[in-house]
Amino acid sequence: MSARSDLTELGRSETALRAFLHGLPGVDQVGAEQRAAQLGTRSIKATAKAWAIDLAIRMVDLTTLEGADTPGKVRALAAKALRPDPADPSCPHVGAVCVYPSMVPYVAEVLRQPAGGAGPADAQAAPAGTGLVHLASVATAFPSGQAPLEIKLADTRAAVAAGADEIDMVINRSAFLTGRYQEVYDEIVAIREACGPAHLKVILETGELSTYDNVRRASWLAMLAGADFIKTSTGKVPAAATPPVTLVMLEAVRDFRAATGRQVGVKPAGGIKTTKDAIKYLVLVNETVGADWLDPDWFRFGASSLLNDLLMQRTKLTTGEYAGPDYFTRD
């Protein structure tokens, strides 16, 4: 691994960037998938399960990214983010709400009500968990990323101005797959700058990258360019997050921290629907990068239906009886 200073120089030269990315160790597909599958057989029971469920709830980026989203829909989602289980005040709030830029103001209305206001959004008064619910917005011509850079930058600035404190951008897969790494890099750097104080999550759209070698390279490229998080998917292509893809990304953030000292978060998104799935991911985190990443600041789930399953399983653990979907809110 190169020394720290060398890594910061990489972005100045297409040649250096290419040499570095192509010099990363390969990923053997069968081995990576087998490792992920083996970790999937861990049996997480009782206290461990309860702990994992609450952590998973705190890690959910409660997401709606539909053309049909309306102010009413996203307000309801925001309310759920703050208080996922109205019947149980011990239930923690989720990690973030994730919407399109145009919906950010309506979510902010709910999440950012001043202390003592009607809602429960005041950080001090939050029912459980710590800190506030983050407001994430996808930007940069999500989900295709096929737009001129100026438009992506404007998209980003608008979302931040409207109150988003996290931006989920998509990389330019077209440039990446044709080997124009400098272009991908420069775009991420530019968006990073446009984010200002907001955190930048870089979506690799791993389903379109197709190979684990590409996932590893794209992870490094995003991190070198300044990503605070790397995220698997938009949720808009059929192949979304999988345990082996997430494993490869976790290995990348682990190695990146070892090389640079900077910690980067990971967000699998799309297709994670059940508590069982979520716990498998937490086991992956635990046994690949360890406790430092077992925190909503460093690991998130991009999901919508996952939350209700987590809530049902949580209830099952406390009451001993299986829960039913009618007892949890659908938004």
Partner 1 sequence: MSERVTVRKTYKLYIGGKFPRSESGRSYLVQSGENSTANVALASRKDARDAVLAARAAGSGWAGATAYNRGQILYRAAEMLEGRREQFVALGIPGDEVDAATDRWVWYAGWSDKLPQVRGGVNPVAGPYFNLSTPEPTGVVAVVAPAAPALLGLVSVIAPAIVSGNTVVVAASPTDPLAAVTLAEVLATADLPAGVVNILTGRLQETVPSLAGHRDVNALDLAGVADAELATSLEVKAAENLKRVLRPVPANYDWYANPGLARMTALLETKTVWHPKGG
Partner 2 sequence: MFEYAPAPESRSVVRLQPAYGLFVGGEFVDPTDGDSFTSINPASEEVLAEVAAGGVGDVDRAVRAARTAYDRVWGPMPGRDRAKYLFRIARLIQERSRELAVLESLDNGKPIKESRDVDLPLVAAHFFYYAGWADKLDHAGFGPGPRPLGVAAQIIPWNFPLLMLAWKIAPALATGNTVVLKPAETTSLTALLFAEICQQADLPAGVVNIVTGAGDTGRALVEHHDVDKVAFTGSTEVGKAIARAVAGTDTKLTLELGGKAANIVFDDAPVDQAVEGIVNGIFFNQGHVCCAGSRLLLQESVADQVLASLKRRMAQLRVGDPLDKNTDIGAINSAAQLARIRELADAGTAEGAQRWSPPCELPDRGFWFAPTIFTGVTQAHRIAREEIFGPVLSVLTFRTPAEAVEKANNTPYGLSAGVWTEKGSRMLWLADRLRAGVVWANTFNKFDPTSPFGGYQESGYGREGGRHGLEAYLNV
Residues with a catalytic annotation lie at: 168, 231, 267
Q: Does 9 bind partner 1 (CB under 8 A)?
A: no
Least distance in angstroms from the C-beta of 78 to partner 1: 41
Q: Does 79 bind partner 2 (CB under 8 A)?
A: no
Residues 6+ apart with CB under 8 A from 94: 57, 58, 59, 60, 61, 62, 81, 84, 133, 307
Least distance in angstroms from the C-beta of 221 to partner 1: 20
Q: Is-contact 272 278, C-beta < 8 A? A: yes
**Judged by CB, which is closer to partner 1: 28, or 193?**
28
| Stretch in the footprint of partner 1 (CB under 8 A) among 27-35, 39-47, 53-61, 103-111 | 27-35
Any idea of the CA torsion for 20, 22, 26, 27, to the nearest 10 degrees? Answer: 90
Determine the Cα–Cα distance for residues 9 and 280; give it in Å rounded to an integer: 37
Rg (CA), the chain: 19
Q: Per-residue string for binding with partner 1, 33-62, x by CB under 8 A?
A: x-----------------------------
> H helices within the chain, ranges in order?
4-9, 14-22, 29-39, 46-58, 71-82, 104-111, 149-161, 173-177, 181-195, 206-209, 212-224, 243-260, 275-288, 306-319
**Judged by CB, which is closer to partner 1: 212, or 293?**
212
Q: Does 52 bind partner 2 (CB under 8 A)?
A: yes
Give just the sign of the alpha carbon dihedral 41, 43, 49, 55. negative
Whose tokens are 């005040």? That residue is 89
Least distance in angstroms from the C-beta of 279 to partner 1: 26
One of 5, 41, 124, 319 touching partner 2 (CB under 8 A): 41
Q: Does 32 bind partner 2 (CB under 8 A)?
A: yes
| CA end-to-end span of the chain | 47
| Stretch in the footprint of partner 2 (CB under 8 A) among 40-48, 152-160, 224-232, 315-323 | 40-48
Q: Does 325 bind partner 1 (CB under 8 A)?
A: no
Q: Does 317 bind partner 2 (CB under 8 A)?
A: no
One of 211, 262, 318, 327 touching partner 1 (CB under 8 A): 211
Least distance in angstroms from the C-beta of 322 to partner 1: 36
**Judged by CB, which is closer to partner 2: 40, or 86?**
40
**Judged by CB, which is closer to partner 1: 33, or 297?**
33
Residue 46 interface partner, choices partner 1, partner 2, none, CB cut-off 5-8 Å depending on type: partner 2
Q: At what angle do helices 275-288 and 243-260 cross, to 10 degrees?
A: 30
The token pair at 196 is 């200002």
Residue 134 interface partner, choices partner 1, partner 2, none, CB cut-off 5-8 Å depending on type: none
Q: Does 210 bind partner 1 (CB under 8 A)?
A: yes
One of 18, 49, 75, 180 touching partner 2 (CB under 8 A): 49
Q: Does 210 bind partner 2 (CB under 8 A)?
A: no
Least Cα distance to 214 among 14, 83, 26 occurs for 26
Q: In 10 A of CB 87, how many CB atoms?
A: 11
User: How far is residue 297 from each of residues 80, 166, 267, measured CA to CA in Å?
Assistant: 20, 11, 10
Whose tokens are 């001043």? That residue is 114
Least Cα distance to 300 among 276, 270, 265, 271 occurs for 265
Q: Give residues in contact with partner 1 (CB under 8 A).
A: 28-31, 33, 210-211
Q: Give residues in contact with partner 2 (CB under 8 A).
A: 1, 25-28, 30-32, 34-35, 41-49, 51-52, 251, 282-283, 286-287, 291, 294
